[in-house]
Structure 1
């Protein structure tokens, strides 16, 4: 039966490296009660403050609405040119009569999905959100089920959505909830899987029904190179989700629980700027470096070297004290024959808030099957002593 092998840093002689390059900076601070900062390219968690505490997302729900529609486009449940009819419910609840954020969709008109997405993300339009929901699933409630199913699929395990707009529920009904960690994960999925639609978040303006409106994301233009995603307000305070790319490095930041939009902007600046003020990219291993050895069953050799499948570049704090560990994890022993270059495990950088970076590990060489005697000895060893 396969065992999961876990090797700590000391097992492969990285202690000296860790003491000189692994550090935890106490200097990044924010007034936000809830905050999260990550590097989506390599999964590094740079900063976490009550990142798993639930809060009401408000209009940030529309980022999830957009992602759900992006996925429907990817799976061809709907097409960009598909026309969606504007119901009286969508018009009255989210359109001009509602006096809220709207793209001023005309009642009983038909609008293409691509235009509704622009209205949703540029105008923050409630009518666009409802129209899209009804177009895909017939009702807001049915679309919310689609949202929750997709949230579960992409790992948003602490989130729950009740409608596509972020409107508060009827009295006595549970409200939508999410976490900073979940929102950062959502942004990462959008950047990774739906990059062809990501530009909508930073589209500066959109005209519909002869009404010109500029992008309503209050964070755009306020933080250098911020190009998405959104902001919201609920009874839990003001929240923001941002993605920023500078000089080829992208970070995702989340803040929540702020008392005003001004404090939200200040907190977002604190977190985003911290990525450049207190962290730098450090190469722990280069591609092809041997990091550990994996046990092999039934082979001519009992072990095979594991090497980094790519450079292990991690954003690490500039100063402070040691607070990270290295672990190699694989399912083993590996059964011979073993091919060179097979991805069989991963290197994990573990901080006080959990895994902050993962890198795939590949076999450095091939291991041919052993002869009958060698296989028998391996079998006897497993029977008597197990694999350790």
Structure 2
């Protein structure tokens, strides 16, 4: 029985990894393909916003379908739709480029990828049930969710160097096929009777549960405000690297892939938070400040090594943040609440991403790429100091509550 459980966990993790790789390789390829056709920074920022706008819309849809269809069937169905959409993309762009069709394809595929990510997170407790196993799996998923923003650009760059972007759609469709094979084998212990309430009630419940949890509430507020700066920064960074340092697509991919070293270190440091019970409020506040300094230093140097090291640190901090976020989200809520909480948390976090793209779009119309990066870094520094203040204030309240006679 233990061996079967390990096999199921391995299949679950492999399926998650395949879809995460598809997700981030595609999100690197799409803006570069658009830049190759238009030579426009503004068009790149628009495509970046379109890639992440579905992250606001898709999670609540999970509340609509949760309990109405089996999760295994839903996951397989999403993979099938993604594969068919990629095949369609191959035929659409085989003989020419159409910007309207391109925007429709990237928006639709991003919607499918986000729906899949939300649904597979909500299914985790039905495959991995023990608390320790949930914490371990949460750390692994956090690691891969940090790893693929780094490796995805390298995979995407290699694919773009080997194929034209229309043929890349077929490669992504092939990966979907492997994912569906895994999903057919995975056993999900589903209990549809656990899901109660209407779509509106379950969607609202997720936000209410988050508001009632002091640390999760603090965490998501910080992530929302920080993501405006961080993803606005990232939507300009690729253009900045090409324009300032004259990097090729493959060199840009290697730049982001180098940050995998930071992810591996961050993954190990994240474990120490729970091993030694380090104060998570200070961790989340501190990572925001350090991340801001990394963003500020990037446009202030003429040496490509400095931005590369700074991005390594950003990815290290991202790994730590995701480990805390995924672990706390899984262990603080019942299984019947998990889908609602996950959907609500994704809406909160990811709604900042198109906002960040919009901010970077307007900034890039009045400032050059380096100045835009610097402005976003300074904003993130101010946000970091604000949340450090909130964490210190909260600790004083907690200490006062534990004193005798309180």
Normalising by structure 1, report the TM-score: 0.24
Larger radius of gyration: 1
Higher fraction of helix: 2
Higher fraction of strand: 1
Normalising by structure 2, report the TM-score: 0.23
